[in-house]
Amino acid sequence: FNYFETIKPQLLRHIPLFKNYYTKTKQSQKMFLNALLDFFVENTSVRLYLVKIIHFMFNDCDFLSDECIIEWYEKKKNSSENPILNK
């Protein structure tokens, strides 16, 4: 079962909504990334798709900025509250 291929059409369908609410500032993009991370922390069986979705949102949808992703990742990887990125 490929979770990413299942969720990809849903992501594409919601890109206009995401862009309307989450691309105006770096802070709003980081809020989106935090919400995405929270989802994957709660759903351990699909954690490996977090990176694929972030890559898709950056590369294919032109939704997230590389600068924002890097800043968010650097902050989260050193955080003890994060069971996924700090490994």
Q: In Å, how far are 16, 63, 64, 73 from 25, measured between CA atoms?
A: 16, 12, 10, 17
- Please say if the pLDDT value at position 55 is more than 60: yes
- Please say if the pLDDT value at position 86 is more than 60: no
Q: What is the pLDDT of residue 71?
A: 93
Kindly report, residue by residue over 24-54, the tens digit of the pLDDT.
Answer: 888 999 999 999 999 888 888 888 899 999 9
3-state secondary structure of 82: coil
Q: In Å, how far are 22, 46, 49, 57, 87 from 12, measured between CA atoms?
A: 15, 19, 16, 9, 30
Q: Which two tokens stand for residue 26?
A: 């770096």
